């Protein structure tokens, strides 16, 4: 199995690494689960929690590392720092994580926090690939209110911080971005088209990972969006599939 060295020390990694990018409560789990079903290796991930019937599809080791990096920079997932620097210990931990999956031809990880610490991953693995997803800010705010007791103002601020990073990365080098607000059949079709284009095959006999039952909030019945949030949403809509 081909492996790519990622440092002068000879640490190895999978031949291909894919990061699933998106804000919390924005459909990253559905996108990740579908790609996993299509053949993307994800390692040891969460497959159930009370907020997500099929699990958030996150590898806890990646989540813990991202939390440590954010904390070291005076922030957290819900308090994005202005600037993020990786310490040598963080770089070493990340290389070890990738090396532990060196036998996988294609390996992926998903954690919304990755959007806040992405420059470090790109420095470690320059050929890192991306696929992203976004959701209407009002729907995210409703979901965060239920899960994390966030006010609408707090949630919209977080939505902007995460999705600004998503859009900036897209502008540097475009990659597929999906919209979790699409109806089930449309989103399902788009995800599988992306999977095919990335070299993965879903298989006709497999049960669908994503169904509309996994989505519990929509964007209806809320106050108008702040202008900068609305403007970023429009940019994502133009960039998306």
79 DSSP β-pair partners: 76
Task: Enter the DSSP assignment of 13.
Answer: E
Q: Are the CB atoms for 98 and 14 separated by under 8 Å?
A: yes
pLDDT, residue 41, reads: 85
129 DSSP β-pair partners: 18
17 DSSP β-pair partners: 107
Q: How is domain 3-239 classified at the CATH fold level?
A: Rossmann fold (3.40.50)
Tens-binned pLDDT, residue by residue, of the chain (241 aa): 344 444 434 458 899 999 999 999 999 988 988 898 888 888 776 443 444 454 455 788 999 999 999 999 999 999 999 999 999 999 999 999 999 999 888 999 999 999 999 999 999 999 999 999 999 999 999 999 998 899 999 999 999 999 999 999 999 999 999 999 999 999 988 998 999 999 987 555 455 555 555 544 555 557 789 999 999 999 999 999 8
CA distance 207 to 35: 13
Closest alpha carbon to 15 in 28, 24, 6? 6
How is the chain split into domains, by residue range? 3-239
pLDDT, residue 202, reads: 57
Question: 0.75 cut: is pTM over it?
Answer: yes
pLDDT, residue 52, reads: 46
149 phi-psi bin (left φ>0, alpha ψ -120 to 50, beta other): left
Closest alpha carbon to 142 in 191, 180, 189, 168? 180
Q: List strand residue ranges (DSSP E) for the chain, in order.
A: 3-5, 12-14, 16-21, 106-110, 129-134, 177-179
Structural tokens at position 70? 């954010």
Closest alpha carbon to 72 in 91, 54, 59? 91
């Amino acid at each position: 199995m081909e492996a790519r060295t990622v440092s002068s020390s000879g640490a190895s990694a999978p031949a291909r690494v894919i990061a699933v990018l998106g804000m919390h409560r924005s459909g990253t789990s559905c996108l990740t689960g579908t790609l996993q079903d299509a053949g993307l290796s994800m390692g040891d991930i969460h497959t159930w929690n009370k907020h997500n019937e099929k699990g958030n599809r996150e590898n806890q080791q990646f989540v813990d590392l991202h939390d440590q990096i954010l904390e070291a920079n005076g922030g957290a997932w819900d308090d994005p720092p202005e600037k993020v620097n990786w310490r040598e210990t963080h770089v070493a931990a990340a290389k070890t994580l990738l090396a532990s999956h060196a036998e996988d031809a294609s390996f992926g990880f998903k954690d919304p926090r990755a959007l806040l610490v992405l420059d470090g991953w790109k420095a470690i693995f320059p050929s890192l690939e991306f696929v992203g997803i976004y959701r209407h800010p009002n729907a995210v705010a409703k979901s965060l209110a239920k899960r994390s007791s966030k006010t609408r103002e707090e949630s919209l601020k977080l939505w902007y911080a995460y999705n600004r990073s998503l859009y900036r990365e897209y502008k540097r080098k475009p990659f597929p971005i999906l919209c979790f607000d699409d109806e089930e059949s449309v989103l399902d079709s788009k995800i599988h088209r992306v999977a095919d284009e990335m070299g993965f095959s879903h298989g006709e006999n497999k049960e669908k990972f994503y169904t509309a039952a996994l989505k519990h909030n929509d964007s209806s019945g809320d106050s108008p969006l702040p202008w900068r949030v609305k403007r970023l949403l429009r940019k994502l809509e133009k960039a998306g599939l």
